[in-house]
Structure 1
Amino acid sequence: MSSSASRAARLLRRTSSALSRRCAHSSAAPSRPPVPLTRFRAGAAASSYSSASSGIGARRFLASHSPASSTTPTKAYADESLVRVIDSEIECVVQLEGASAKQIDLPEDFPFEIIDNPGDQSITLKREIAGETIKATVYTNFDAEQDLNEDGNDDENNEESFKPGIQMVVTVEKPEAPILEFECHFNDDELAIENMRMLDQNNRDAENLYSGPPFQDLDESLQKALHRYLEVRGIKHSLHDWLYEYMMSKDEKEYVVWLKNIKEFVGN
């Protein structure tokens, strides 16, 4: 496969519909075990996307390369070559975005406000309900891809067999009370709770606080009750397809901005 075709296939994979991927997964093929969440706070949503580019950017490979030269390239030549490659990558992404662009409609009875700041690697869903403030910080975890290859083919070129994981940190806040926090991830069957803890509202990062046992070690009836607790507040598996499409679209937009920022830096 040529470098341009490979790049196009890779970018098309990133912008394709999550629903079409799920339809292809008709059998109960096991997914990869989720990668445990790092300590991820809602405040991280204010961080620049570029701060996480080392994780996501490592998954992108510019297909065009500078022509070989028998002599050491000059600074000007290297800079101009990099700018040309960036322009080519931007053009490719924009073309594929245009070809696959569609309106991402909100789910029916969507109860949340969407906080999506340009440059952030995450979005926040927020709502008020019965004196509680519910916040769900959502991000795409490219290190926790789900394996959708139902026939067990391990062909490394079959990039359509994987999709990134969608993970979130949910907080339930009440006035003058501790904060209840859940770390969750989506898979094809459910919204899974990985961990939960109580936080001091005045010192969320306080150390040595008892965080409770691992969620999977809780009594099964308690686990089910905690899932229902989140569902009635709007945090449920039916959000998955919409969140996946939204986050893939956001990732491509942020990627283009990231490329343009690099181009501006190199060109100045």
Structure 2
Amino acid sequence: MSALRTLRQVTVTSSRVLTARQLSTTSFRAFPALATQIVSASSSRASSVSARKLGEGSSDIALSQKLTEELNYEKEAEAGTSGAPDFLKAFQEEGVWEISDVLGNDEVALTRKFGNERIRLMFSIADIQGEEEDFQSDHGESESEDSGDEPLHSYPIRVSLSITKTTGPGCLNVDLVAQEGHFIVENVSFYKDAKLGTDLTAESDWKRRGTYIGPQFDTLDVAVQEEFEKYLQERGVNEHVALFIPEYAEFKEQNEYVKWLSNVKTFVDQ
């Protein structure tokens, strides 16, 4: 979610709360007749709406207009930027990782080959949405105005790494968190069946939950932790990729949001 959109949502939410409080604490007490009129008008509208046919609600036009306004705002914010952003072009030009991203899907995969190994990194934009919701609930309007001084990509993104080999069975799975340009290893799992370790089906996920996932990484001997981190670095799971993942997740979330606005508006207008 873009920083501008987050700020707008926090400001609008604060305004709504303030307006509701002012109306409830001032208008209704000072003007009891006004409260009676509002209740009466609400009842009339409810009766009118109930009499309408499906697909002809009185709110359809207003909703469509608001969706159009939001869609235009997002397009104006993107004005002057055409094609892939610079950070994505630079990443693709390196030719190390391939990006598998389908519009409408929640997850993104980065894949590469390393000798006889196949390496896959997977992450989801759902982490961005959850972090932004926490931000809006934990910060007031005044605090949000100063948020420009905070790191743009400070939120954590959970990443799942799988490594398989063409020369033998088995799969190494690593649970990581990408945050502020670093990967934090949480735990390392091993599956004798490579298909079980890499399959994205619900059945395989259920089977994986019933297997031993290994110890927490930070409980391992420090020397083992250090060597394992070198093992990942050599395979390109490094600071550069840890910076790229949150940036790409934000880029994808914005594209998905604009597409969502367009799809919902088209449905409402039918």
TM-score with structure 1 length normalisation? 0.66
1:82 has 2:67 as partner: no
Where in structure 2 are the equivalents of 1:247-258 lying within 5 Å?
A: 247-258=249-260
2:182 to 179, 190, 193: 190
Higher helix share: 2
TM-fit CA distance, 1:202: 3.8
Give the percent of matched residue pairs that are identical in Structure 1 and Structure 2: 22
Name which of 224, 242, 246 aligns with 2:244: 242
Which runs of structure 2 are paired with 1:214-253 in the superposition (5 Å)? 214-253=216-255
Higher alpha-carbon deviation: 138-147 or 120-129: 138-147
Q: How many residues align?
A: 211
Superposed displacement of residue 9, structure 1: 6.4
Unmatched 5+ stretches in structure 2: 17-37, 50-55, 136-141, 198-203
Distance 2:106 2:172 in 1: 23
Note if 1:103 corresponds to 2:103: no
| Matching of residues 162-177 of structure 1 within 5 Å | 163=153, 164-175=155-166, 176-177=168-169
C-alpha distance 87-103 of structure 1, shift in aligned 2 (>3 A): same
Match of 2:124 among 136, 139, 158: 139
Counterpart amino acid of 1:168? Answer: V
The answer for the alignment partner of 1:178 in structure 2 is: 170
Letter in 2 for 1:11: R
Partner of 1:130: 115
Residue 107 of structure 2 aligns to which amino acid in structure 1? S
Cα deviations by residue, 1:61-89 (Å, 9 ceiling, x for unpaired): 79999xx9753373532111111111111
SS at match of 1:168: strand
Q: Distance in 2 between matches of 1:144 and 1:236?
A: 23
Corresponding letter in the other structure for 1:77: S
Q: Deviations over 1:8-56 (max 9, x none)?
A: 9632879xxxxxxxxxxxxxxxxxxxxxxxxxxxxxxxxxxxxxxxxxx
Q: CA RMSD in A?
A: 3.6
2:4 corresponds to: 10
Contact 1:64 1:85 in 2 (8 A): no
CA distance in 2 between partners of 1:133 and 1:59 (Å): 43
SS in 2 for 1:98: coil
Looking at structure 2, the residues matched to 136 and 192 of structure 1 have their Cα atoms a distance apart, in angstroms, of 14
Structure exhibiting the larger radius of gyration computed from Cα positions: 2
Aligned to 1:201: 194
8 A contact 1:62–1:85 mirrored in 2: no
Give the aligned residue type for 2:163.
V
Question: For each residue in 1:235-254, what CA deviation from the matched residue of structure 2 results, as whole angstroms up to 9, or x when unmatched?
Answer: 11122333333222211111
Per the TM alignment, residue 117 of structure 1 is displaced from its structure 2 partner at its CA by: 1.1
**Which runs of structure 1 show a deviation greater than 6 angstroms over 4 or more consecutive aligned residues?**
58-65
Conserved? CA contact 1:132–1:172, under 8 Å: yes
Normalising by structure 2, report the TM-score: 0.65
Q: Which amino acid aligns with 1:138?
A: F
Q: Is the Cα contact below 8 Å between 1:124 and 1:137 reproduced in 2?
A: yes
